[in-house]
Structure 1
Amino acid sequence: MFEKLNPANWQVPTEAALEAGVVLVLALAIAYLLYRVIFAILGRLVAVDRNGSSAVIIDKLRKPVKWAMLAMSVTLAAEGNAWLGSFWEPVARFVRPAILGWIAYTVVKAMAAALEMRLEASDDPVATRSRRTRIAILSRTATVAIVVITVGLMLLGVPGVRDIGTTLLASAGLAALAIGAAAQPALKSLIAGLQMAITEPVRIGDLVVVDGHTGRVEEIKMSFVTVRTWDERLVVVPTSEFLDKSFENWSRRDESLTGPVFLHLDPIADVAAIRAEFLRFVEGHELWDKRTAGALLTEAYPESKEMRLAMSANTIGDLFALRCDVREYMIEWLNLTQPEALIRHRLEVPGGHAKANEPGEP
């Protein structure tokens, strides 16, 4: 036993190893030189791109393409050298699918980043949100598929795993049922994400009201959507909520909205004067988009009446600011010009109560 471990008994084909080493070094050197030349030419070509999206793709592809070219050079060298091939072939079963998957993953990420950069130059915010949502969902779907396929190809290089796969194929019915039951949540999320990308009920940047929360859609994942509220809370909503239940999307087509301000007034309030002053103030306000401006008496109660002041603005933020300005101005104007129009709780006792008018005891 100890004689077998003696280094003197080892038989190393020195000439074959030396030849393999020379071939390997030459192949790697040629591949690296070719890599530098190719990317130098590509760098010159993409230098004319004004928005820089092509340069982003080239930069992200540098590292995976370099390793792919080095691996390809080793494979070509191993085909011409049997001794090198005996060592490289078992390793290549894992390296080749891993590098191919790495390249595909990088291409998807680079294309998504390049498309995002081009969207920044767009003047249409609605179209920008729509395209950004599709890019995010479809790129995540592609990356998940690439990772699954890459891992599967790498595992197929293991003889034991290949044997297990053959055994499972023999009982394909039971295996399909088991896999389908286990993967049902993941498949549901995947299908929901694809449906979100195609139908676009909600997009990144939309202002939505879901489960009582109002905020901007910040991210759309395969299994959940994040909504950032006005007070900077982050609400995580399952993707299925946007497909199975109703919700409000305030910026589906554009952000032009009409909003109300309600005034609760005393029955003696002069509605015509209030309407005229409201229209005068809104027409001179810089945030009004000149679409909607109206004042209606919507309710009348025995002790009060309700007046709705409707106005519109180009964006949701402008509408909120406009409503606040109108509310503040109208309250101040009523205090100055019609103080009696503000609701007060009164208790009128004409002549007083009989007992209250009786002279008290000394």
Structure 2
Amino acid sequence: MDNIIDYISRFNDFFIGIAIFIAAILLGILVKFLVFKLLDFYNRHTDPQLIRSLTRHLNGPLSLFIPLLFVSMALPAIPFSTGTIFFLRRVAEILNIATFAWVLVQLTNVVLDIVKDKFQVEKPDNYKERKLYTQVQFIKKLAVILIVFVAISLILFSFESVRTLGTGLLTSAGVAGIVVGLAAQRSIANLLAGLQVAFTQPIRLDDVLVVEGEWGRVEEITLTYVVLKIWDSRRLVLPLNYFIEKPFQNWTRTGSDLLGTVFLYTDYSIPLDALRKEFDRILAETDLWDKRVSVLQVTEAKERTLELRLLVSANNSSIAFDLRCLVREKMIKFIQQNYPESLPRTRAEFTGDAVKQLAKISTQNSNGK
């Protein structure tokens, strides 16, 4: 009889514990639902960037963190054995640490959204915005690594055996640090180069670079490498320390405006004043030109041709390239239509016996016809 009563008592305790466990989860889900409903209601009337970013990034992690928090609070009320409660508390602690780390990681994305909203990187003159965004993105990546490292450390050190082992390992941490440093010196060098790049900023996100003979924009800066999007959609991946140790061209270091050059080669008979008038007319009719610089100069007089340099200005490198192509095409068309005799040509002068010989050949050809 006592065994039956004990069995019924354990059975009741089990169901009571399960009921409390489920009730805590449901209560946590309800609280999370109400909080996000209030935020959603608030967004419909004001639509602030901060609240909108919080609801988007924290919806997932808080769906786990809040119910787990209520479960941890309800554990003392669950009528389970001491061993079972200890096991459940340990599992809840681990899950709470992991989900809280997830919340912190998502908060770094919220900060990034706020920076992007306050400082518009997409606008044409975005020098200051790209500078700040590059720094914030690099700090965000370091923060994520630190959060994950601390979370894993807290989880591991919640076990007694790991704490005991960790105390012993601390005595040899110096030697281990030297060994790891030697083995990963290139990775560490890239990480330090990343810190230097983030704060001295020889490059920033969306900078236009010429590297290894390739023209492209900085698409991504990680902790160890840089991704350059080439003009034809290829990607050039370079280690961060490349930009510390080797020279490269940065066309947007202090601003996006740029000068472009067009070279033309013509005969000495070309009328330069007419070319200058046509050059000014072409620039006046296009929106690609930013009206800062327009110069046509004779930069070289070679034995057969004149070298003409047409200097133009534009708001950025992409527009400058299109403007150069437009000017080159229209100037060549103008010369072809109006001064075809001034296109590059090769002259030859025949005298004496050479002239007689040519005349003889011409006479023979005529008789042959």
TM-score normalised by L of structure 1? 0.85
- Deviation, structure 1 residue 212: 0.9
Residues 1:69 and 2:66 are matched in the alignment: yes
Structure 1 unaligned residues grouped into runs of 5+: 1-9
Give me the whole-angstrom Cα distance separating, in 1, the residues matched to 2:87 and 2:9. Answer: 14
- Give the letter for the 1:189 counterpart: N
CA distance 1:121–1:282, change in 2 (3 Å): closer
Report if aligned partners of 1:265, 1:343 keep a CA contact under 8 Å in 2: yes
Corresponding residue of 2:137: 136
Give, in whole Å, the separation in 1 of the partners of 2:278 and 2:315. 22
Structure 1 residues 182 and 115: alpha-carbon distance in aligned structure 2, compared to 1, 3 A threshold: same
Alignment match, 2:336: 335
The answer to which of 117-126 and 211-220 deviates more is 117-126
Deviation at 1:104, TM superposition (A): 1.0
The within-5 A match list for 1:86-97 is 86-97=86-97
Give 1:94's aligned amino acid: I
Cα distance between partner residues in 2 of 1:359 and 1:74: 112
- 1:353 is paired with a residue whose SS is helix
Could you say which residue in structure 2 is the equivalent of 1:4?
Answer: none
Q: Secondary structure at the match of 1:328?
A: helix
Question: Could you tell me which residue of structure 1 aligns to residue 323 of structure 2?
Answer: 322
- Tell me which amino acid in the other structure corresponds to 1:255: S
The answer to whether the 8 Å contact 1:57/1:111 transfers is no
Structure 1 residue 325: deviation in Å?
1.8
**1:58 maps onto 2:59 in alignment:** no
CA apart distance, 1:169: 1.1
Q: Which residue of 1 aligns with 2:171?
A: 170
- The equivalent of 1:39 in structure 2 is 36
Within a 5 Å distance, the mapping from 1:1-362 to structure 2 comes to: 13-14=10-11, 16-50=13-47, 52-81=49-78, 83=81, 85-120=85-120, 123=123, 124-353=125-354, 356=357
Output the amino acid matched with 1:235: L
Structure 2: distance between partners of 1:187 and 1:283: 53
Distance 2:348 2:340 in 1: 18
The one-letter code sitting in structure 2 at the alignment partner of 1:164 is L
Question: 1: distance between equivalents of 2:89 and 2:358?
Answer: 114
Q: What secondary structure is seen at the aligned counterpart in 2 of 1:336?
A: helix
Which residue of structure 2 lines up, in the alignment, with residue 5 of structure 1?
A: none
Deviation at 1:149, TM superposition (A): 2.0
Q: Over aligned residues, Cα RMSD in angstroms?
A: 3.0
- Residue 220 of structure 2 contacts residue 226 of structure 2 at CA under 8 Å; is this kept in 1? yes
Instruction: Output the TM-score relative to the length of structure 2.
Output: 0.83
Distance 2:174 2:141 in 1: 30
* Distance (whole Å) between structure 2 residues aligned to residue 50 and residue 33 of structure 1: 24
Shift of 1:174: 1.0
CA contact (8 A) 1:204 1:219 kept: yes
Instruction: Say whether the 8 Å CA contact 1:266–1:344 is kept in structure 2.
Output: yes
C-alpha change, 1:186 and 1:165, in structure 2 (3 Å) is farther
Secondary structure of residue in 1 paired with 2:323: helix
Distance 1:242 1:12, change over 3 A: farther
Shift of 1:13: 4.0
Code of the residue aligned with 1:277 in structure 2: it is E
Give distance in 2, aligned partners of 1:315 and 1:173. 51
Residue 214 of structure 1 aligns to a residue in which SS? Answer: strand
In structure 2, how many angstroms separate the alpha carbons of the residues matched to 1:40 and 1:159? Answer: 42
Query: Could you tell me whether the CA contact under 8 Å between 2:224 and 2:239 is conserved in 1?
Result: yes
In the alignment, the residues of structure 1 paired with residue 240 and residue 359 of structure 2 have an alpha-carbon distance, to the nearest angstrom, of 75
Cα deviation digits, residues 175-215 of structure 1 (max 9, x gap): 22123234433333333333333222222222111111101
Deviation at 1:119, TM superposition (A): 4.5
- Against the structure 1 CA distance between its residues 347 and 183, is the aligned structure 2 distance closer, same or farther, given a 3 Å change threshold? same
Between stretches 186-195 and 286-295, larger displacement belongs to: 186-195
Q: Secondary structure at the match of 2:45?
A: coil
- Partners in 2 of 1:326 and 1:305 — Cα distance? 18
Say which is worse superposed, 316-325 or 181-190, in terms of deviation: 181-190
CA contact 1:122–1:128 (8 Å) conserved in 2: no
Cα distance per residue 1:293-317 (max 9 Å; x no partner): 1111111223222111111122322
Q: Which amino acid aligns with 1:309?
A: L
* Farther off after superposition, 89-98 or 226-235: 89-98
Count of residues in Structure 1 that have an aligned counterpart in Structure 2: 353
Residue pair 1:47, 1:55 contacting (<8 A) in 2 also: no
Output the CA distance in 1 between the equivalents of 2:220 and 2:119. 16
CA deviation profile, 1:4-30 (whole Å, cap 9, x unmatched): xxxxxx999445434433433343333
1:133-174 per-position Cα deviation (integer Å, ceiling 9, x unaligned): 334322222222222222222222344433332221122321
